[in-house]
């Protein structure tokens, strides 16, 4: 005799509705730019020589990125929208970092974003039923060091000369000249600066 299962279930109360969210929040031009950049990124950007920083700066500038002098972007970095990236002189993004810049990302002079860091300038408004996209800019100041595998969330400002500890989760502003770490990241102490 075949097994039969009876299920009595009521539909759960769900607040946000994915069938009411906007499926295409970008313009056609933005989608085209993103598609073109994707093919450049996975080919001639990714397979360029490790120290071909000038070449990668050129490619990023071709897609609208604002690149200062002597900026270093490693070839394994993922950048979603180059036209929303601003990097000042002598700043660097390390290996396998992700710049998920749905909103603008500003990186100051002499700033290091270390390997496998995730910069996330986009989220959704979870207070609304249709979960609209929110593109909040991120400002990382001058002389900042964001250590390996840190997460920097939407709308965050990190003040000049601060250090963010490895694997920290930065979801609120960090003042200047401090060391911050943890999940969520909190100020641990002032940054000692010797040899100026």
Question: Does residue 53 fall inside a structural domain?
Answer: yes
- Chain Cα centroid distance, residue 78: 9
13 DSSP 8-state letter: P
pLDDT at 2: 55
Question: Does residue 5 fall inside a structural domain?
Answer: no
pLDDT at 27: 84
% pLDDT > 70, the chain: 94
Q: Which domain holds residue 89?
A: 27-188
Q: Of 32, 47, 42, 123, which is closest to residue 83 (Cα–Cα)? A: 32
β-strand partners of 106: 86, 139
> Does residue 184 have a cis bond before it (omega within 30 degrees)?
yes
Q: Is the pLDDT of residue 82 over 60?
A: yes
Question: Does residue 8 fall inside a structural domain?
Answer: no
Question: Does residue 16 fall inside a structural domain?
Answer: no
Question: Does residue 15 fall inside a structural domain?
Answer: no
Torsion sign over Cα 135, 37, 118, 54? negative
Question: Does residue 100 fall inside a structural domain?
Answer: yes
Question: Does residue 37 fall inside a structural domain?
Answer: yes
pTM: 0.89
pLDDT at 171: 98
- DSSP 3-state of 79: strand
The string of pLDDT tens digits covering residues 8-40 is 556 688 888 877 877 777 788 889 999 999 999
The string of pLDDT tens digits covering residues 118-129 is 999 999 889 999
- As for how many domains the chain has, the answer is 1
Backbone phi and psi for residue 86, each to the nearest 5 degrees, phi listed first: -125, 120
CA distance 115 to 74: 9
- For residue 161, give the CATH number of its domain: 2.160.10.10
Confidence of residue 4 (pLDDT cuts 50, 70, 90): low
Question: Does residue 121 fall inside a structural domain?
Answer: yes
């Amino acid at each position: 005799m075949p097994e039969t299962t009876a299920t009595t279930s009521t539909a759960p109360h769900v607040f946000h509705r994915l069938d009411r969210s906007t499926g295409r929040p970008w313009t056609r031009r933005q989608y085209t730019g993103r598609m073109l950049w994707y093919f450049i990124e996975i080919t001639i950007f990714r397979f360029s020589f490790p120290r071909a920083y000038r070449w990668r700066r050129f490619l990023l500038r071709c897609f609208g990125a604002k690149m200062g002098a002597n900026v270093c972007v490693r070839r394994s970095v993922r950048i979603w929208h180059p036209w929303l990236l601003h990097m000042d002189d002598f700043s660097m993004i390390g290996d396998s970092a992700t710049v998920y810049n749905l909103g603008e990302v500003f990186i100051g002079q002499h700033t290091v974003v270390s390997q496998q860091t995730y910069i996330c300038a986009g989220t959704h408004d979870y207070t609304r039923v249709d979960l609209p996209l929110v593109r909040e800019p991120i400002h990382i100041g001058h002389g900042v060091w964001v250590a390996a595998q840190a997460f920097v969330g939407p709308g965050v400002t990190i003040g000049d000369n601060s250090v963010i500890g490895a694997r920290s989760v930065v979801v609120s502003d960090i003042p200047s000249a401090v060391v911050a770490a943890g999940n969520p990241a909190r100020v641990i102490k002032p940054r000692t600066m010797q040899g100026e």
